[in-house]
Structure 1
Amino acid sequence: MTQIDELLARLEARAKAYDEATEPLEYTGDDKILDREADTLIRSLVAERDRERKWLEELAQAIVDHFRIETPSDGFYNITATAYEILDGDFTTDSDADRRATAAEAENAVLREVFSNFLPIIDAILAEAPAEASQYIMFIDCEGNRHGVNLDILRRARAAGRRE
């Protein structure tokens, strides 16, 4: 039995005794002790709840700040709900889109740098290859091995190279 359960049982017993009494009962020293214990326990529970709520609010705010999400300033519940959504994976953040855009731009910059001198050749290969093809065989060596190029990479390189 927890401290809370024990205290509740004692309080219920006292309440029952008062209810069943035919004459007014005297408020005894035991009653005062019981009231002080109840008061102390309630105060400690409230303080613990407040500490946990403060910690949860700080954690939720850190999560929201990390993902650069703007939440209404009307409080704790909006911030914690948003943090839970982020942690559950049900929330697309601006930083997700930023990371994807940054990664795509970095990839395009590499493609532009690598393939910029080869754009005329890339254009010639893509003009000759069927539109639905994903692989273009450039040549077959003397051992029968096919050597080709991935057309999707060439298409992305051409698109990236044309954006300059």
Structure 2
Amino acid sequence: MAVKIRAAHRDDLDGLAASLGPAHHEFFLNRYPLQDKGLGEILLAFEDGRPVGGVLLNWDLATEPEVRRHLAGVPMIQHLHVDPARRRRGVGTALLRAAEAGLRVRGHRRVLLGVDQSNPVARDFYLRLGYVQPAEPDLRNLQAPSGAYDILVAEL
């Protein structure tokens, strides 16, 4: 089955609850205004017309002062999520590569993301695809309500 990736339309977001679950539906629904304001873009992966994954590209200011200090102006990839039944079939990689390509077209040379320390599978995925941990110690062990996370960066 071929995966098709494109920018989300508002009507697409309602289908995310069934495909990705209510928490991910809420995340993308709450971030959709970034796309309307030109501060980001939600990319969705579709198989047979059904959404099976999503990711947010965000070029608004980072909320973390450490990120603003060391990586000012570097866009962020946030909340890469794939339907659990579709994992390990290239959907996540396709979404990430499409996000990177879109950022390159916009003139960006680097991208960053945060990865939960409690998720070694995600960390290994990003490292395998060329993301690295910056040398700055204050970009490690950042705290969020969900737990500690680290910043990873890739050259585009």
Q: Same fold (TM over 0.5)?
A: no
Q: TM-score normalized by structure 2?
A: 0.19
Query: Rg larger in 1 or in 2?
Result: 1
Q: TM-score normalized by structure 1?
A: 0.19
Higher strand share: 2
Higher helix share: 1
